[in-house]
Structure 1
Amino acid sequence: MDTRERLIESTRELLWERGYVGTSPKAIQQRSGAGQGSMYHHFHGKPDLALAAITRSAGELRERARTAFEGPGTVAERVAAYLRRERDALKGCPVGRLTQDPDVMADPELRRPIEETFAWLTGTLAGLIAQGRADGELHPALDPAATAAALVAAVQGGYVLARAAGSPDVYAQAVEGALALVLLQPKENH
């Protein structure tokens, strides 16, 4: 891994662990093994490096979700695959956790990849849910946009509950509850 990549990866880890304020240039340099000159050779400063790290984390989140969404199976099976995929529930979402960081949210450039990722995620889920409704697989009363927002909220809220309880089981419980309430509703008999 070259110096630029080490800097981005180290910043991603630190943002996930400590947030923006706790991710100092010194901490980035120590974690990456890069000197100050190397850091400023590749990036204009901490905001530039943080943007690269946040953009990378957001891209990886989308790619993991896309893999589940485009995988085999019914709509419900693909959505369940996304919700049930292996995660470090106690560590939280590397993108979602940044929404709690006032410095990231106050900066439109740092906030942009987060907003775009959650918009993509809810939009893609809404499309799948609409497809499932049209195919008769899902309950016709499901509102695709509202259901997608509820599923994303269940994932992000599941992280919060798991961290508060100190147990990944709480995350799994939140996901299974969302699936039972939203996707596995009995279809009306006609």
Structure 2
Amino acid sequence: MYGMDTRERLIQSTRELLWERGYVGTSPKAIQERAGAGQGSMYHHFRGKPDLARAAIERSATELRDRAQAAFTGPGTALEQVAAYLRRERDALKGCPVGRLTQDPDVMKDPELREPIERTFAWLTDRLTALLTRARDDGDLAAGLDPEATAAALVAVVQGGYVLARATGSAAGYAQAVEGALALLTRQGED
């Protein structure tokens, strides 16, 4: 981390601390200590803890969208791209860095902190909806399938898969949730 400039170290440290401690447990002092930066440096780059937290959340959200987009634009049919997204390598035991923030009441009650989370899940649902619509139109899914509802269900499967993995201490819970969802989708194409 010390190869990064001070601003980047502050953002990365805040991301880690939000993950480990939540918003309330992430003090400016803890951020500065982890980043190896002084108070003056922090306030030179950010107006305060909320501004820095927003930058950290935005960074996590951007990375999530970038990883998803790579799967969504990969080779194969629309249904294969959805499967690639669901099956892409993740640290299931660690959980989703964006989804986990929805469990933090201090983040969710602040519209500025909540906005990148809402925007990311809306983007993800929209992208999945478009792919599922294309898969349905290509005949890979049942004609009666509701792409928007199915996209929301797939986002829930991913987030729920993280919860199962963490609850059981095994990535198998995540994999089982994903494979179950894909089996349901595949059966939809057989109707």
TM bucket by the smaller chain? over 0.9
User: Secondary structure in 2 aligned to 1:93?
Assistant: coil
Asked if the contact 2:140/2:189 (under 8 Å) is kept, the reply is no
Q: Go from structure 1 to structure 2 and tell me whether the alpha carbon gap of 1:183 and 1:24 turns closer, same or farther (over 3 Å shift).
A: farther
2:126 and 2:62 mapped to 1: Cα distance? 15
Q: Which residue pairs with 1:9 in the alignment? A: 12
Q: Go from structure 1 to structure 2 and tell me whether the alpha carbon gap of 1:184 and 1:62 turns closer, same or farther (over 3 Å shift).
A: farther
Q: Which residue pairs with 2:82 in the alignment? A: 79
Aligned residue among 141, 144, 148 for 1:145: 148
Q: Which residue pairs with 1:128 in the alignment? A: 131
Aligned length: 188
Aligned residue among 15, 37, 40 for 1:37: 40
Q: Which residue pairs with 2:25 in the alignment? A: 22
Q: Does residue 51 of structure 1 match 2:89? A: no
* Structure 1 residues 27-63: Cα deviation after superposition (integer angstroms, max 9, x where no partner): 1111111111111111011000000000111011001
Query: Sequence identity of aligned pairs in percent?
Result: 78
Aligned residue type for 1:43? F
Q: Does residue 115 of structure 1 match 2:115? A: no
Q: Go from structure 1 to structure 2 and tell me whether the alpha carbon gap of 1:24 and 1:184 turns closer, same or farther (over 3 Å shift).
A: farther
Q: Which residue pairs with 2:66 in the alignment? A: 63
Asked if the contact 2:145/2:188 (under 8 Å) is kept, the reply is no
Task: Give the stretch that moved more between structures: 74-83 or 46-55.
Answer: 74-83
1:138 CA drift (Å): 1.5
Aligned residue type for 1:111? R
Q: Which residue pairs with 2:162 in the alignment? A: 159
TM normalised by structure 1 equals 0.96
User: Secondary structure in 2 aligned to 1:185?
Assistant: helix
TM normalised by structure 2 equals 0.95
1:26 and 1:183 mapped to 2: Cα distance? 51
1:153 and 1:4 mapped to 2: Cα distance? 34
Q: 5+ unaligned residues in a row in structure 2: which ranges?
A: none
Q: 5+ unaligned residues in a row in structure 1: which ranges?
A: none
Aligned residue type for 2:190? K
